[in-house]
Amino acid sequence: MNFLLLGSMFIAVAFSAARETKNDIDFRIVGGSTASLKQFPWQVGIHLHKRPVNAFCGGALISRIWVLTAAHCLPNLISATVIVGAIKVNHYLERHDSSNIEAGMRYRVINFISHEAFKKGSLVYDAALMKLERPVVFNAYVRPVRLDDRNIVRPNIHISIAGWGKTGTEETQSAVLKYIDMSIVTSGECQRFYKSRIDNRTTFCAIGSNGDNICVGDSGGPAITYRAGTAIHVGLLSFLHNSGCDLNKPVGFSRTAYFRDWISDISGI
């Protein structure tokens, strides 16, 4: 059974299909729609300065100074910069145009913390926090998202996933924020594809609808559902099946509610 961890690499990397897991961060959104400027005001892009190559992950703004993302984005991390309020993102940080409102604003990360139980290559406990150098200014384009603290994840609940990942197997990173809708599947369906490598307490799976799916998106990006018009962060994009981008396979997410106390202990949120 093959599967990989998600994200967006700046360069192409070849992997052996024989490996059971891949500690990679290379996803894409297949199909989907282009997001509008105010549609996902909590969505952030994260430029990662790493060894041996730089990378790009997604995340969610959860307060003025804290970002929630995936722990598998952090190994070998030297420094990071977060982009908030953006629709168009250049995956090369030095080319970021802060004068363009669609390009958002940059914030340097001063601290990053992975969940203490996460291990590189693992499909569980895949959550991390990043602390920004200064408070983010909230406006119509930038605001935090509410976190799930009641474990509302259930089969057939619809979620939205956004990201600047690749849009096809051979394509480069998307410069424009895209999103797709997915439906949460049963824990049994998730286990059928990923076996004992997952823990249903910390993880759930979802699958795309209308021919859309995630092959590669931005690791750590938020899974959002809506209750009474309020956006709720229920999961972090974590891993997917490694048998092909366009196959009808479920995608794995870290369950936000499981990490709620851990998030509060570190951030005070």
What is 157-209 written as a DSSP string? Answer: -EEEEEE--BSSTT--B-SB-EEEEEEE--HHHHHHHHGGG--TTTEEEEEES
pLDDT in tens, 76-128: 999 999 999 988 876 555 555 555 556 689 999 999 999 999 998 889 999 99
Residue 80 near residue 106, CB atoms below 8 Å: no
Place of tokens 């249903």: 200
In which band, very low, low, confident or very high, does the pLDDT at 209 lie, cut at 50, 70 and 90?
A: confident
Residue 66 near residue 262, CB atoms below 8 Å: no
Q: For residue 56, is pLDDT > 70?
A: yes
Region 144-161 average pLDDT? 97
CA distance 18 to 6: 18
Region 146-159 average pLDDT? 97
- Six-digit token string for 74: 């952090």
In which band, very low, low, confident or very high, does the pLDDT at 168 lie, cut at 50, 70 and 90?
A: low
What does the radius of gyration of the chain's CA atoms come to, in whole angstroms?
16
Percent helix / strand / coil, the chain, rounded to 5: 10, 40, 50
Is the backbone peptide bond immediately before 135 cis, with ω within 30 degrees of 0?
no
- 98: helix, strand or coil: coil
- Six-digit token string for 254: 């870290």
* Global confidence as pTM: 0.87
In a 13 Å sphere around the CA of 76, the CA atoms on its Cβ side amount to 11
- Supply the pLDDT for residue 148: 98
Pairing of strands 230-241, 146-147: parallel
pLDDT in tens, 228-258: 999 999 999 998 877 655 567 889 999 999 9
- Six-digit token string for 101: 């409102």
